[in-house]
Amino acid sequence: MRRKLLLGNWKMNKLVSEARDFALASKPLVGTALKNNIDLGVAPTYLSLDTVKKNADKGMIVAAQNVHFNDHGAFTGEISISMLKELGIDWCLIGHSERREYDNETNEKCNLKIKALIANDMVPVYCCGESLSTFEAGNTKAFVSEQIRVGLRDLTAADVKNLVVAYEPIWSIGTGKNASAEIAQDICSFIRSILKEMFGNVANDIRILYGGSVKPENVKAYLSCPDVDGALVGGASLKIDSYEGLLTNIL
């Protein structure tokens, strides 16, 4: 049985003081979630990771939004896995479409990062998803398949057992134009079939999230799909009331 997972991606939002307020306010939600077999988490900016980790419930997943694949060295502006681990952070988003678009994050670079995270017992949340033009041209599956095959290259079934994949069609991110639950199910089930081909039955244990304009009002429709195991939520994860609404509506 795959546990449900609700993960907020705060992107470049929230001062440290705001992140702390959210972490404190979220405390009572985590127990409710865990009792219902749902994992809850947030991905704050680097600057807020330590504060959120210290002030949130211990059961709250706290994820970084990115990491470098080298452990140390002359990489100005970067953060390493051991720096995250020192703060007790053991989850990290990889390959978000905004990083692919603005920061030259390629499938190959994602692969290096995912391998480094797994080698350090961390949980990568590997993001994939196509642009509007790729969707309209009917090329979603070929595009996503390439992202999965290259991003997860050279890994074994044992390596990927804790991996999380997030399918986020770019045309539905922050646009309010969310993909239908049918599309989400179709692509998430397709991703699972590729994972099965690559890694065998462990694919049945890998959580696949949908992301893109998920709100308290539509979260249940996505999580009712058999191959959608949770949601990666941007805008609607920023305010505690809305974050709580996401959880309450799937209980």
Radius of gyration of the chain (CA): 17
**Based on CB atoms, which residue is closest to ligand 13P, 216 or 234?**
234
Beta carbon of residue 178, minimum distance to ligand 13P (angstroms, whole number)? 8
DSSP characters over 172-219 = GSSSS-PPPHHHHHHHHHHHHHHHHHHHGGGGGGSEEEEESS--TTTH
Please state the closest distance from residue 213 (CB atom) to ligand 13P, in A.
Answer: 4
User: Out of 98, 105, 130, 168, which one is annotated catalytic?
Assistant: 168
Total H helices, total E strands in the chain: 10, 8
Minimum distance from residue 174 beta carbon to ligand 13P (Å): 4
**Which of 68, 96, 105, 130 is the catalytic position?**
96
Q: Write the CB contacts of 118 (distance below 8 Å, at least 6 apart in sequence).
A: 124, 155, 159, 160, 163
The question of whether 68 is a catalytic residue gets the answer: no
Q: Nearest distance from residue 177's CB to ligand 13P, in Å?
A: 9
Q: Which is nearer to ligand 13P, 162 or 213 (CB)?
A: 213
The DSSP H or E segment spanning 40 is strand 38-43
Least gap, CB of 73 to ligand 13P (angstroms) = 29
Q: Is there a contact between 4 and 229 (Cβ–Cβ < 8 Å)?
A: yes
Closest residue to bound ligand 13P by CB: 234
77-80, long-range: CB within 8 Å, 24+ apart, which pairs?
Answer: 79/46
Query: φ and ψ at 29, to 5 degrees?
Result: -75, -30
Q: Which is nearer to ligand 13P, 110 or 232 (CB)?
A: 232
Which stretch of DSSP H or E encloses residue 55?
A: helix 46-55
* 3 state DSSP class of 229: coil
Nearest to 119 by CA among 73, 71, 151: 71
Q: Which is nearer to ligand 13P, 41 or 235 (CB)?
A: 235
Supply 232's token pair: 């990666």
C-beta closer to ligand 13P: residue 42 or 202: 42
Question: Which residues in this chain contact ligand 13P in the complex, by CB under 6 A?
Answer: 9, 96, 168, 173-174, 211-214, 232-236
> Known catalytic residues?
96, 168
